[in-house]
C-alpha cells in the first residue's frame, strides 16, 4: 500500500490503533466512494474490529492513502 508522508508521520501517530490492513480493505471492499472536487477520493468500509466505518482518503491516483479516520456520522443508507 502506498502512503503519503503525512499519513505515516501524522495520522498513524495520532491514531495508533489504526491498522494498515483496514485501509487496504477499505480500498478493495468499500461500501461508498466519493471523489472530491480537487480529485482526492474518499472510501468508506465497515471495520468489525473497530465497530464502525472507516473513512480512507486517497490522493487523486486512487491508491496512495493520505488520511484515515473512524467516521461516526456515516450511515450506509444515506444517498
23, 68 contact by CB (below 8 A): yes
Distance between CA atoms of residues 25 and 28, nearest Å: 5
- 23 assigned to some structural domain: yes
Give how many domains the chain has, as a whole number: 1
Angle at 37 between CA 52 and CA 54, to 5 degrees: 10
Output the pTM of the full model. 0.91
List pLDDT tens digits, range 1-24. Answer: 999 999 999 999 999 999 999 999
List pLDDT tens digits, range 19-48. Answer: 999 999 999 999 999 999 999 999 999 999
Which residue segment(s) compose the domain that 47 sits in?
2-71
- Tell me 38's DSSP state: T
- 77 assigned to some structural domain: no
- 7 assigned to some structural domain: yes
- 79 assigned to some structural domain: no
Amino acid at each position: 500500500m502506498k502512503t503519503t508522508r503525512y499519513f505515516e508521520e501524522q495520522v498513524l501517530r495520532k491514531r495508533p490503533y489504526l491498522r494498515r490492513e483496514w485501509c487496504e480493505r477499505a480500498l478493495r471492499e468499500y461500501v461508498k466512494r466519493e471523489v472530491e472536487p480537487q480529485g482526492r477520493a474518499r472510501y468508506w468500509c465497515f471495520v468489525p474490529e473497530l465497530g464502525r466505518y472507516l473513512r480512507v482518503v486517497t490522493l487523486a491516483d486512487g491508491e496512495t492513502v493520505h488520511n484515515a479516520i473512524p467516521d461516526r456520522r456515516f450511515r450506509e443508507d444515506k444517498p
